[in-house]
């Protein structure tokens, strides 16, 4: 399977997963000059996926309660994870 086909498969499986597991609105847009799809509940974005030509960036959006919970538990996660947090 070529790289482009693998990339398309990842895209399709990711969208299928999001659509199958969560009842969220999909909003197509731009993140600066990059195409993206945002999954939203009401006016709040839950996750944004930036669609680069050769990879995806996933941005998970945490609310205040989720941030506080993560920060209270951050020592339980590997340093690479919480260093990306800040």
pLDDT 10s digits, 2-30 = 666 787 888 788 888 888 888 889 999 99
Which pLDDT value is given to residue 84? 73
Confidence of residue 1 (pLDDT cuts 50, 70, 90): low
Euclidean distance between the first and final Cα of the chain, in Å? 37
The Cα angle at residue 64 between residues 70 and 71, in degrees rounded to 5: 20
pLDDT 10s digits, 27-55 = 999 989 999 999 998 888 888 989 888 88
Half-sphere exposure of 33 (CA within 13 A, CB side): 1
Structure tokens at 5: 């086909």
Half-sphere exposure of 39 (CA within 13 A, CB side): 18
In the chain, domain spans: 3-85
């Amino acid at each position: 399977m070529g790289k482009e086909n693998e990339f398309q498969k990842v895209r399709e499986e990711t969208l299928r997963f999001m659509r199958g597991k969560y009842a969220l609105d999909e909003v197509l847009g731009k993140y600066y000059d990059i195409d993206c799809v945002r999954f939203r509940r009401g006016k709040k974005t839950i996750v944004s996926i930036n669609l680069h030509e050769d990879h995806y960036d996933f941005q998970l959006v945490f609310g205040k309660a989720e941030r506080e919970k993560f920060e209270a538990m951050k020592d339980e996660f590997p340093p690479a994870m919480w260093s990306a947090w800040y």
